[in-house]
Amino acid sequence: MTRISMIEHDGWSKALRDATNPDAMTSLERGTLRIMAHKPETALGFVGFFGALRGERTLPERLTELMRLRIAFHNQCRSCMAVRYSDAAADGVDEALVCSLERPAEAENLTEREKLAIDYGERLATNHLSLDDEYHARLKKHFTEAEIVELGIFAALCVGFGRLGASWDMVEELPEAFRAREGGPIAPWGQREVVGVR
């Protein structure tokens, strides 16, 4: 059971309701916002920040989605692992590609740029101090500085809010495989049932 109570859209502050469209979001997409609604001004800031991040995105949906899912694995954020976004699916992310995230460095269906982005997100989640001068020189061979900033901000959002979501245990609306606690850590790859969202 979710550890912090969720407030549905009609219970949000007027400003937060006005800034969001419940018809354009599934309950899973509202997930964290239903908890953040306890702090409406902060939630409103999050909506603006996330909107700006998505609105200015220049990196491919496929690349960011693969990085997001690999970070979700390290965070063990079950709601993050269960979700598949339609924009990413339209950019070629299917379950066969998600399965390549089990061993991304060895995957033949990932580009070098995608492998590097996944590695970057993984290091940010597990060993951020390894992102040294040498690593940034490697990034600059594949990404512009603006893209590296975009990659970093998106990865930081995934790491931080994914860990927060995992600690809040928002799993009630997920497929059974993502709710089960037996057997230790789970992964986003190899799942038969996932949640597709707009």
Q: Give pLDDT, residue 102.
A: 97
State whether 172 and 122 are in the same domain: yes
Beta bridge partners of 159: none
Q: How far is CA 140 from CA 113, 134, 135, in A?
A: 11, 10, 9
Total structural domains within the chain: 2
State whether 47 and 69 are in the same domain: no
Q: Is the pLDDT of residue 106 over 90?
A: yes
For residue 180, being part of any structural domain is answered with yes
State whether 35 and 69 are in the same domain: no
Residues 6+ apart with CB under 8 A from 157: 50, 53
Give the orientation angle of helix 145-168 with respect to helix 112-126, to 10 degrees.
50
For residue 4, being part of any structural domain is answered with no
- What band does 24 get if pLDDT is binned at 50, 70 and 90? confident
Q: Give pLDDT, residue 25.
A: 78
For residue 1, being part of any structural domain is answered with no
Closest CA to 105 of 87, 93, 118: 118
Q: pLDDT tens for residues 133-173?
A: 999 999 999 999 999 999 999 999 999 999 999 999 999 88
Q: pLDDT tens for residues 38-65?
A: 999 999 999 999 999 989 999 999 999 9
State whether 125 and 161 are in the same domain: yes
Closest CA to 55 of 144, 195, 154: 154
Q: Give pLDDT, residue 157.
A: 96
State whether 43 and 92 are in the same domain: no
Domain residues for the domain of 98 are 61-197
State whether 49 and 91 are in the same domain: no
The larger pLDDT score, comparing residue 169 to residue 30, is at 169
- In the 8-state DSSP scheme, what is residue 172? T
For residue 188, being part of any structural domain is answered with yes
For residue 3, being part of any structural domain is answered with no
Closest CA to 70 of 11, 118, 8, 139: 118
State whether 45 and 139 are in the same domain: no
Q: Give pLDDT, residue 136.
A: 98
Q: Give pLDDT, residue 14.
A: 96
State whether 29 and 75 are in the same domain: no
Q: pLDDT tens for residues 176-194?
A: 889 877 778 999 998 888 9
Residues 6+ apart with CB under 8 A from 128: none
pTM, entire model: 0.92
Q: Which two tokens stand for residue 175?
A: 């497929």
State whether 93 and 66 are in the same domain: yes
What is the Cα–Cα distance from 80 to 64, expressed in whole angstroms? 13
State whether 84 and 128 are in the same domain: yes
- Residue pointed to by tokens 């997001």: 68
Q: Give pLDDT, residue 198.
A: 65
State whether 174 and 137 are in the same domain: yes
Q: Give pLDDT, residue 196.
A: 82
The larger pLDDT score, comparing residue 192 to residue 198, is at 192
What is the Cα–Cα distance from 117 to 67, expressed in whole angstroms? 6
